[in-house]
Amino acid sequence: MEILLTVEDNEEIQKQLKWGLGKDYKILLAGNVSEALSLFESHQPKVVTLDLGLPPDAEGSIEGFRCLEAIMQQAPQTKVIMLTGNEERESALRAIRMGAYDYYPKPINLDELKVILSRAFNLGKLEEENRQLHSALSEEGMELQGIFGQCPKMVEVFTTINKVSSSDAPVLILGESGTGKEMVASAIHQKSQRKNGSFIPINCGAIPENLLESELFGHEKGSFTGAHGRVQGKFEFAHGGTLFLDEIGEMPLSLQVKVLRFLQEKVIQRVGGRDNIDVDARIISATNIDTQQAIEEGKFREDLFYRIGVVKINLPPLRERGKDILFLAHLFLRRFSEALNKRVRSFSMAALNRLEEYSWPGNVRELENRVKRAVIMAESTIIEPGDLDFVTVERTNEPSQVEKDSKILTLKEAKERVEKEMVVAALEKQKGNVVKAAELLGVSRPTLYDLMKKHGLHQP
């Protein structure tokens, strides 16, 4: 049975909570900060209900904030639900900024409080599972050179990387944009005998055709207008190391011939030069195009395809990686919270649902960017769907209101607009049922009422 610590000096409320919640949880009761912290240290409960007004400052909030701060310092993952009077709303919001999970105003409706408690325990359990998963990464083979994953397809990728790293065989990495193809190429290099050499990446689709040849193979003085001296290309810089040809499917056919020659003979010629230059470089390539279709359409040489793809690694899109989505989201959350010095600790249940439902066309790169944005935008310790910018991106294919406006909105204005849209959408979906709408949004009923009042909304 889950442990619930209730910090409350009012004996009647203590009895109410113990009687109403005792069948669902093991209730620990504390009437002041000293008792609360002693019980917290002994039992480490995942969820705490905390009254702001505690003795000797029962009419104020000093003791309540002191207790909250001590709990957050000891175990910041704890879900603390503030039980407050209606006149203490500003103090409750301050508590949220300090790390509290939610607040609920007295008098207490046990049915509503049970919903909040259930959600808090479920969220805490999910976060704990992800923390355990993260700590077991190196032991279970779910992390390799900064690449994380636990789904079967990613385990297969890790296995292939480990096998292919010991050879110099050319590798072709296939996958959608944002799946981490360059990270896989770098991981192969770092695990190979060439790890002390250079890892030289070049995006073949980002450089104009007339410049790409010089970038790859270098040029001699006077070989073209502006060539004032001899310049080495990426192949020579990769001597003794690895050359990563990203988006090789975008490479012109004329350069594909030169790459094929290098793979066959291990020599290159600079633009405007006649001398063969020996280069010892491993080639790893990547593309997000349909290679078979490109070959059939005459856009990619079949002989080059077989040369660069001695070993092929297929990176799965994020939408096919199951629970990796939530695992990576929590990983990025911890990373950016620390880097940006923010006290954002977790996702609401509504946000977790959206993370799992979304199709992720931008794959891991999009997930990373959305979580980083959410950490920046979040005004409490819990990330909501609006912080992840789902509403404005997924609502329709028509231009958003932000795009229609003649002026650029500030981040605060944009966030408030998204917040209002989400509240309206939730109320409409639940046909005006505030309790169900609050649950959908991952907030308490009083919080939803505050949001409705803030944005001038009424029940449909």
**Which residue in this structure is represented by tokens 């109320």?**
427
pLDDT tens digits, 84-96? 876 677 888 888 8
298: left (phi over 0), alpha (psi -120 to 50) or beta: left
* Residue spans per domain, the chain: 3-108, 152-315, 319-454
Rounded to whole angstroms, the Cα distance separating 236 from 252 reads 20
pLDDT, one tens digit per residue, over 218-270 is 988 877 777 778 899 999 999 999 999 999 999 999 999 999 999 999 999 99
What percentage of the chain carries pLDDT values higher than 90? 50
Q: What b/e readout covers 123-142, taking b as 16+ CB neighbours within 10 angstroms?
A: bbebbeebeebeeebeeeeb
| 161 band by pLDDT with thresholds 50, 70 and 90 | very high
Q: Which of the four pLDDT bands, split at 50, 70 and 90, describes residue 140?
A: very low
Q: What are the tokens at 156?
A: 């297969």
Are the beta carbons of 133 and 150 closer than 8 angstroms? yes
User: What contacts 447, CB < 8 A, 6 or more positions away?
Assistant: 102, 103, 438
- Convert 48-81 to b/e letters by CB count within 10 Å (16 or more is b): bbbbbbbeeeeeebebbbebbeebbeeeeebbbb
Q: Which residue has the higher pLDDT, 412 or 329?
A: 329
How confident is the model at residue 124, as a pLDDT? Answer: 84
Sign of the four-CA dihedral 414, 417, 423, 424: negative
169-198 pLDDT, tens digit per residue, is 999 999 999 999 999 999 999 999 999 999
- Specify the higher pLDDT residue, 10 or 406: 10
Tell which residue, 189, 191, 309, 196, has the closest CA to residue 248: 309
Q: What is the pTM of this model?
A: 0.63
pLDDT single digits (tens) 333-352: 989 998 998 888 888 878 88
Q: What band does 430 get if pLDDT is binned at 50, 70 and 90?
A: confident
Helices 363-377 and 324-339, axial angle in degrees (round to 10): 40
Two tokens at 285?
């390539």
**Fold of the domain spanning 3-108:** Rossmann fold (3.40.50)
- Each residue of 1-29: pLDDT tens digit? 899 999 998 888 999 999 999 999 999 99
437: Cα within 13 Å, side-chain hemisphere: 24
Amino acid identity, residue 440?
L
- Domains 3-108 and 319-454 alike in fold: no
CATH number for the domain running over 319-454: 1.10.8.60
SS (H, E, C) the chain: CCEEEEECCCHHHHHHHHHHHCCCCEEEEECCHHHHHHHHHHHCCCEEEEECCECCECCCCHHHHHHHHHHHHHCCCCEEEEEECHHHHHHHHHHHHHCCCEEEECCCCHHHHHHHHHHHHHHHHHHHHHHHHHHCHHHHCCEECCEECCCHHHHHHHHHHHHHCCCCCCEEEECCCCCCHHHHHHHHHHHCCCCCCCEEEEECCCCCHHHHHHHHHCECCCCCCCCCCCECCHHHHCCCCEEEEECHHHCCHHHHHHHHHHHHHCEECCECCCCCEECCCEEEEEECCCHHHHHHCCCCCHHHHHHHCCEEEECCCHHHCCCHHHHHHHHHHHHHHHHCCCCCCEECHHHHHHHHHCCCCCHHHHHHHHHHHHHHHCCCCEECHHHHCHHHHHCCCCCCHHHHCCCCCCHHHHHHHHHHHHHHHHHHHCCCCHHHHHHHHCCCHHHHHHHHHHCCCCCC
Which of 100-114, 147-161, 366-380 comes out lowest in average pLDDT?
A: 100-114
pLDDT attached to residue 395: 37
Query: Is 136 a residue whose pLDDT tops 60?
Result: no
Is domain 152-315 given the CATH code 3.40.50.720 in the classification?
no
Q: Please tell me the predicted confidence (pLDDT) of residue 45.
A: 94
> What is the C-alpha to C-alpha distance for residues 228 and 233, in angstroms, rounded to an integer?
15
Digit-coded pLDDT (tens) for 312-324: 999 999 999 998 9
Instruction: Provide the pLDDT for residue 237.
Output: 96
Identify the pLDDT of residue 141. Answer: 44
Tokens of residue 425, six digits: 């959408």
| pLDDT band at residue 443 under the 50/70/90 scheme | confident
Interval 427-439 mean pLDDT:
78
